[in-house]
Amino acid sequence: MNVSGVMGAGGAAGVGAATWSGASRRSGGSGAVGRMQSAITSVAQLLNMQPSQLVSRLGTGQSLASVATSQGISQDTLLSTVEKAVSGSAKQGATPLSGDALRLVAARIAASTSVPAGLSLRTRA
């Protein structure tokens, strides 16, 4: 599965900071910032990078998907890693995302070339 296949014909185009607000937030969940933070941490580990290095690459207009591809990581592996990170970032007791919603959120994260305001790369206590 590739990112554009999950997101439709538009693929990564048009996915920006606005993607992380509104509909992508879930009541009772960790929110978009927490999801992205978890995804960046997990993907950085997959790519043997520091999270700050990965964020720097996003700052140059690359997406998580393009960085992963340049490192020889398949889109399926990337999406699976992001899905696991997103699932694991939900607050205890929150209703989990459905399979389709989880895939959509993971694809949006993988295709994004920006990070939401408020993202912190500090390790959670």
User: Could you report the per-residue pLDDT of 59-104, keeping only the tens digit for each?
Assistant: 888 999 999 999 999 999 999 999 998 888 777 767 777 888 889 9
pTM of the model: 0.68
Ramachandran quadrant class, 79 (left: phi over 0; alpha: psi -120 to 50; beta: rest): alpha
Residue ranges of domains in the chain: 28-111
> Going by C-beta distance under 8 Å and a sequence separation of 6 or more, which residues neighbour residue 42?
81, 82, 84, 85
With tokens 């879930």, the residue in question is 26
> pLDDT (tens digit, 9 = 90+) per residue, 65-76?
999 999 999 999
Q: No. of H helices and E strands in the chain?
A: 6, 0
